Amino acid sequence: MRKKTSKRLRKSDAGMQIIAHSVLAFLTFAAVIPFILLVIASFTDEDLAVRYGFSFFPEKLSLSAYQYLAGEWGQIGHAYMMTILVTIIGTALCLVVTTLLAYGLTRDIIGKRFLNFYVVFTMLFNGGLVSSYYVWTRIFYIKNTIWALILPGMLISAFHVILIKNYFINSIPESLLESAKIDGAGEMRIFLNIIVPLSKPIIATVGLMSAINYWNNWTNGLYYVDDNSLYTIQLILNQINQSASFLASNSTQMSNMMSGTASIPTTTMRMAIAVVAILPIIIAYPFFQRYFVKGITLGAVKG
Amino acid sequence: MKKVRKIIAAIVTLAIVAISFAACGNTNTDSGSSEGESKAAASEAVNTSESSIASDNVKSEEPYEVVMTYVTIGYEPQDLPLVEQALSEYALEKINCTVKFKPVAISDLASQYNLWASSGEKVDLLMMFSMDIGSYLNEGKIISLEEYIDFMPAAKALDADTYLFQGGMYNNELYAIPVGGTALGHGASLYARTDLMENVEFEEKDIYSYEELDAIFAQVKEKYPELITIATAGVLTNTLTSNYIGFDDLGVSGGWAGVLMNPTKGDKTVVNLYESEEYYEFLSWRQKWNQAGYISQDAATTSDTANDWVKSGRCAGFLTAADTPGNKENVEGQCGYDMTQFNIKGTCVTTGSYNYLRWCVSTTSERPDKALEFLDLFYDGEEAINLIMNGIEGVHYVKNEGSMIISYPEGIDGTNTLFSNPLGIYGDKMNLYMFEPNEDSFYERSREYTEKALTITSSALGYSFVSDSYQNEIAAITSVMNRYLSSLEYGTVTDLEGTYQEFISALDAAGMNKLVEANQAQFDAWMAAQDN
Amino acid sequence: MGKEPAAGNPGKKSVGRKLIRSIPVYLMILPGIVYLFCNNYMPMFGIIIAFKKVNWQKGLWNSEWIGFDNFKFLFQSQDTFIIIRNTVLYNVVFIVLGTVCAVTVAILLNEVRKKLHKSIYQSLILLPYLMSWVVVSYLVFAFLSAENGFVNTFLQKNGFNSIRWYQEAKYWPVILVIVNLWKSVGFSMIIYYSTIVGISQEYYEAAKLDGAGKWKQITNITLPLLKSTVITLFIMSVGSIMASDFGLFFQVPKNQGALYAATQTIDTYVYNALMKLGNTSMASAASVLQAVVGFALVIAANTIVRKYERDSALF
């Protein structure tokens, strides 16, 4: 049958390939170039960077930014480990709870519409930081525990629930579930043996989004933790950056206050910290990718 | 209809949730009343133990743990726990207290204080960096210190000499204890690279005028065209004229509620700084300097500090900093070049002299008396202040007999020391040891400077504007400032006259003149009260 | 799923049956529901902060009610119209342009044949999303700096005058839209991509047999099947139409007052105005206002969508 595919179709195929590759290549280029600049900036000599700004071809390279990091490795290395741990645990928990919730919302149960509204409403109204802080620290006492980095505001997002729920509704035929029920399967069995395996793309998507959220989050660490063994890498980067710009805009008062030769981390150091903070996600990303598999045949069900 | 029922059910559930937290609210007020109890205990302590304030305290009490904010520049020094422990031991011996540091980055102070106050989290001492006492009082985050003054004998002694407490007064009550700087007054100077100044002709003067500076800048630009002349950087949230014009801002930084233009000459009229001729004069010069290329076009957008610019050789200098002794060495240390000092504003002691760095006591503190006793340790003698600023003697620094100058131990320097505290925000800094290349003469010079400054005080010393009911105006003024200040004061604006008119009418619409009038009324009342 | 009415006996017995059948499901969703209760519903009492003159010493419940006073600062400024206009307009552009770009990229990515190529494109296009806005602002500055920026250096080498990018507001709508697209397309396309990947290959095979070319395949199969996702995401974005990405509007223009006409949104305005005061109630008032408007719009959008595309509605 294949050989009979007309020339017209093959041309249209080829045309699509050209368009696809050119657009994607351009976007890739646009995405990578600034990143390369970032990396080069972290290796640029500090004085040069201040005088001439960042450049793709700096005259002088220097490892001092990374040396500084290596010197602070105690704190930074630990923060790294913390961030990785929190991301893994958080993402795993998130996926479990979110998919269960999403599945439940597709079932025909009493109070279905109410429960859907219950979930969606959380996206629309927020009590604010002050009351969230109060609830988490005074009612649940999570301050300075690892749960402070995992629970507040991060574990379930109504957005994710809705995405997964819609995927279940649109991409998994009801007939599949009916035949399983006829075979006597309970809800949990159906969930584990049918729903989850067929939903790999969306689970991988939400998993990725959740992992990125956890990795990039620094506000939980800022508000709920003051024990430095629980600091995450984004928290440190952010605090250094914000303190540096704060000091820069208050410089006259600063000069009265600052003493000694202590200096604020320079721009190149901040770039180095940024590179170090992004690297693991880039490395871990391909791991998620293999779940975006194509063409799961649902041919098992006919009619 | 089902749909409507479901929505009503949702709302009812929410209402139940909200109401059930009335219970939690009661817990909040419960803790409020238990605070009241411990405060009562504290005031009993005030009444019954006036004599036992000295260090021979009764040891039968449990030591009280003072929770103090430790302000960082983004990360904590590695040996902080060691210092915390050493300080605790010292405090335990002297006043039966231990200390626990609560590290906060300097850019996060406001948000953290808010969360702590709202959730009743226990903390005793709050560092108030350039924060408005009025709004903190409004939101119930800090307490009055009037009844506890006697717990701070060393600070009181300092106040007797230098009007220390004036900087912490608000509405005639003491709310904050300022940090005792080494030299009082806030004159300002420009610091430029000495090696470049050697090729520039200029006269030695006490204070340099705009014209004289202009002549100097022109020469520098001519001789070194590739350098930016004036080092100034960062988004401006407050006017730079506090370094050029000798006004008294009456406790509101930036003079947003009006200023006294000549505070040391008996001036009693509060005026709008931004509508004054002096202010416009400053703007005209800045525009001229910008157009001549002395000020960088990137001044407002750069993420580097002005010090970085000088250090990297991008800029010739003319950094603005206080003119107090030791500052020159500070700037030199940060930039790596020798500096020549050009004074641009004379010294004068105003309430604002102390305004920036103050310590307050949080409403969540259980023993304010103990907290202040602890704070007083930083004003009393050399031990506490040097522990927190320089670390442990022998481990983090080496001191010689008879000198206040210290140096690093073998093998350690500024880049690899395990403890450094760049923020000098504690106690009486005249007791603070300084690292080389500062010299012992620094302390003597500071004393002289302070003595001279104390003869030049503002007629409004001790007065500050009470801004409680003007929060909306201050918010509106903040917005206007954010919008116009950088382009006006860096001189990047193209149509100075036009933009300036926009600026002052925006300020008027935001309510600045209303504040000026209110300020004048309050000031007149305060002065009348002073005479009685 | 969920389109057919519940099968089974009509009459009162079915409610009881339904309840029993619902129990295992309730158990499954229990952790989620409990978490949302703790994280989202319990703190909702915080909304009252917007209506009170908060004094923490008195406690939240004893603080004075002052009605809408805290909202005044939002409307007292000369800039009120500008900030609302900016916030809403940018969001409209982001929603429309963002969706079009994300869908296009997702479709194109799907067309790429080799798995390795797909992998590489997808990972690299996602890269900007992983950078924080602060870092992005430094990179943008490297391009647009008045003295050393790449763009100005390029202009000068070719005989043009350099432009003071950070002082002219007129360029910034375009700059911000481009930067935002650049940063987010790699992420937002993932959702569409995963939906496309879930479309059964059989449809495409059948279309090919009928002689349909690529374009026809996309417009007749892919797009219709994406419609539901697009609509759902649209409704959700509408809920945040009064909110803006703080990092984009504050960090990238480096908080330059001269650019406010084009870059200031509700969130940056509130942040700037309250910087000195630290007034919680006023900040809370701003969030409540944003939430209320968003809520109203979502209900409206959802109601409309329910009429035409029931399954895409949120509830």
DSSP C259: G
The reply to whether B404 and B364 lie within a common domain is: yes
The answer to the question of residue B43 being in a domain is no
Q: Cβ separation of B10 and A71 shorter than 8 Å? A: no
CA distance A184 to chain B (A): 32
pLDDT at A259: 59
- At C229, is the pLDDT very low, low, confident or very high (cuts 50, 70, 90)? confident
pLDDT at B484: 92
Rounded to 10 deg, the angle between the C280-308 and A112-124 helix axes is 140
Longest dimension (CA), chain B: 89
Element spanning B66, H or E: strand B64-72
Q: Please tell me the total count of domains within chain B.
A: 2
Q: Is B285 on the interface with A (CB under 8 A)?
A: no
Cβ neighbourhood burial of C114 (10 Å; 0-12, 13-18, 19+): exposed
Distance CA B182, CA A287 (A): 59
> Which of B130, B168, B169, B350 is CA-nearest to residue B248?
B350
The three-state secondary structure class of A50 is: helix
Sign of CA dihedral B468, B473, B474, B475: positive
The reply to whether B338 and B471 lie within a common domain is: yes
User: Which chain C positions have a beta carbon within 8 Å of B111's beta carbon?
Assistant: 278
Q: Where are the domains of chain A?
A: 2-42, 68-253+263-289
Q: Cβ separation of B139 and C279 shorter than 8 Å? A: yes
ipTM of the complex: 0.84
Query: Which of A238, A263, A266, A270 is the mutation pick for testing B, counting most B CBs within 10 A?
Result: A263
The residue assigned the tokens 């950087």 is: B233
How many Cα atoms are found within 13 Å in the side-chain-facing hemisphere of A89? 12
The reply to whether B329 and B360 lie within a common domain is: no
The reply to whether B366 and B306 lie within a common domain is: no
pLDDT at B119: 87
Distance CA C298, CA C242 (A): 12
User: Which chain B positions have a beta carbon within 8 Å of A264's beta carbon?
Assistant: 73, 305
Q: Which residues contact C181 (CB under 8 A, 6 or more apart)?
A: C97, C98, C101
Q: Residues in chain B with pLDDT < 50?
A: 1-2, 4-5, 7-58
DSSP A266: P
Q: Is A262 on the interface with B (CB under 8 A)?
A: yes
Distance CA B345, CA B246 (A): 7
- Tokens representing A137 are 């620290």
Cβ neighbourhood burial of C254 (10 Å; 0-12, 13-18, 19+): buried
pLDDT at A49: 86
- pLDDT tens for residues C202-211? 888 888 888 8
Dihedral pair phi/psi, residue B180, rounded to 5°: -85, 100
| B71 phi-psi bin (left φ>0, alpha ψ -120 to 50, beta other) | beta
Digitized pLDDT (tens) for each residue of chain A, 303 residues in all: 455 557 777 787 888 889 999 999 999 999 999 999 999 999 998 888 888 888 888 888 888 888 877 777 777 788 888 999 999 999 999 999 999 999 999 988 888 889 998 998 898 888 888 889 999 998 998 989 999 999 998 888 888 998 888 888 877 888 888 888 888 888 888 888 888 888 888 888 888 889 888 988 888 988 998 888 889 888 887 887 777 777 766 666 666 666 554 566 777 888 888 888 888 877 877 776 666 544 333 333 333
CA distance A253 to chain C (A): 16
Amino acid at B130: S
CB C32 within 8 A of CB A97: yes
> Which of B200, B249, B251, B252 is CA-nearest to residue B229?
B200
**b (16+ CB within 10 A) / e for B384-396:** bbbbbbbbbbebb
- Tokens representing B158 are 């300092």
Rounded to 10 deg, the angle between the C150-157 and C133-144 helix axes is 10
The reply to whether B368 and B400 lie within a common domain is: yes
CA-angle at B474, arms to B470 and B479, nearest 5°: 155
Between strands B315-322 and B228-230, the pairing is parallel
Q: How many interchain CB pairs under 8 A, A with C?
A: 300
Q: Which residues contact B265 (CB under 8 A, 6 or more apart)?
A: none
User: Which chain B positions have a beta carbon within 8 Å of A253's beta carbon?
Assistant: 130, 356
CA closest to B477 among chain C residues: C273
- pLDDT tens for residues B292-344? 999 998 888 887 878 888 888 889 888 888 888 878 887 887 788 888 999 98
pLDDT at A281: 79
CA distance B417 to chain C (A): 29
Q: Cβ separation of C128 and A35 shorter than 8 Å? A: yes
The reply to whether B501 and B376 lie within a common domain is: no
What A61-68 contacts at long range (C-beta under 8 Å, 24+ apart), as own/partner pairs, is: A62/A268, A64/A268, A64/A269, A65/A266, A65/A268, A65/A269, A65/A271, A65/A272, A66/A42, A66/A272, A68/A265, A68/A269, A68/A272
- Tokens representing C16 are 């009881």
pLDDT at C172 over 90: yes
Q: Which residues contact B69 (CB under 8 A, 6 or more apart)?
A: B101, B102, B103, B104, B109, B123, B125, B126, B127
- Tokens representing B502 are 């926009």
The answer to the question of residue B230 being in a domain is yes
Q: Is B496 on the interface with C (CB under 8 A)?
A: no
The answer to the question of residue B404 being in a domain is yes
Q: Cβ separation of A17 and C112 shorter than 8 Å? A: yes
Q: Which residues contact A290 (CB under 8 A, 6 or more apart)?
A: none
- pLDDT tens for residues B445-457? 888 888 888 888 8
Q: Whole-angstrom distance between the N-terminal and C-terminal Cα of chain B?
A: 74
**Window 61-100 of C, Cβ < 8 Å to B:** 61-62, 72-73, 76-79
The three-state secondary structure class of A140 is: coil
User: Which chain B positions have a beta carbon within 8 Å of C60's beta carbon?
Assistant: 25, 28, 118
Of the residues B406, B422, B451, which one is the last residue of a structural domain?
B451
Of the residues B406, B434, B451, which one is the last residue of a structural domain?
B451
pLDDT at C3 over 60: no
Dihedral pair phi/psi, residue C19, rounded to 5°: -65, -45
Of the residues B432, B451, B470, which one is the last residue of a structural domain?
B451
User: Which chain C positions have a beta carbon within 8 Å of A243's beta carbon?
Assistant: none
How many Cα atoms are found within 13 Å in the side-chain-facing hemisphere of B341? 19
| B53 phi-psi bin (left φ>0, alpha ψ -120 to 50, beta other) | alpha
**Window 154-183 of C, Cβ < 8 Å to B:** 164, 166-167
Instruction: Enumerate the β-bridge partners of residue B70.
Output: B103
CB B291 within 8 A of CB B298: no
Q: Cβ separation of A51 and B130 shorter than 8 Å? A: no
- What structural domains and CATH numbers belong to chain C? 70-312 (1.10.3720.10)
Distance CA A29, CA A282 (A): 16
The answer to the question of residue B20 being in a domain is no
pLDDT at B88: 94
Between strands B398-399 and B405-407, the pairing is antiparallel
Distance CA B458, CA B267 (A): 9
**Which domain, by its residues, includes B319?**
188-352+460-531
The answer to the question of residue B326 being in a domain is yes
**Window 265-304 of C, Cβ < 8 Å to B:** 269, 272-280, 282
Number of CB atoms found within 10 A of residue C34's CB: 11
Does domain A68-253+263-289 fall into CATH 1.10.3720.10? yes
User: Which chain B positions have a beta carbon within 8 Å of A262's beta carbon?
Assistant: 73, 414, 420-422
Amino acid at A250: N
The answer to the question of residue B508 being in a domain is yes
> Which of C229, C237, C240 is CA-nearest to residue C312?
C229
The reply to whether B204 and B348 lie within a common domain is: yes
- Tokens representing C3 are 């389109």
**Window 24-63 of A, Cβ < 8 Å to B:** 46-51
The reply to whether B298 and B192 lie within a common domain is: yes
Q: pTM for this structure?
A: 0.84
CATH code of the domain in which B131 resides? 3.40.190.10
pLDDT at C60: 85
Distance CA A253, CA B352 (A): 12
**Window 56-115 of A, Cβ < 8 Å to B:** 71-72, 74-75, 113-114
Number of CB atoms found within 10 A of residue A145's CB: 15
Q: Is B26 on the interface with C (CB under 8 A)?
A: yes
- Tokens representing A99 are 């998919």
pLDDT at C39: 92
C163 alpha carbon, distance to own chain's centre: 32
Distance CA B411, CA B420 (A): 15
Q: Cβ separation of C257 and B486 shorter than 8 Å? A: yes
Number of CB atoms found within 10 A of residue A33's CB: 12
Query: Which of B28, B298, B315, B503 is the mutation pick for testing C, counting most C CBs within 10 A?
Result: B298
Distance CA A257, CA B127 (A): 13
The reply to whether B363 and B398 lie within a common domain is: yes
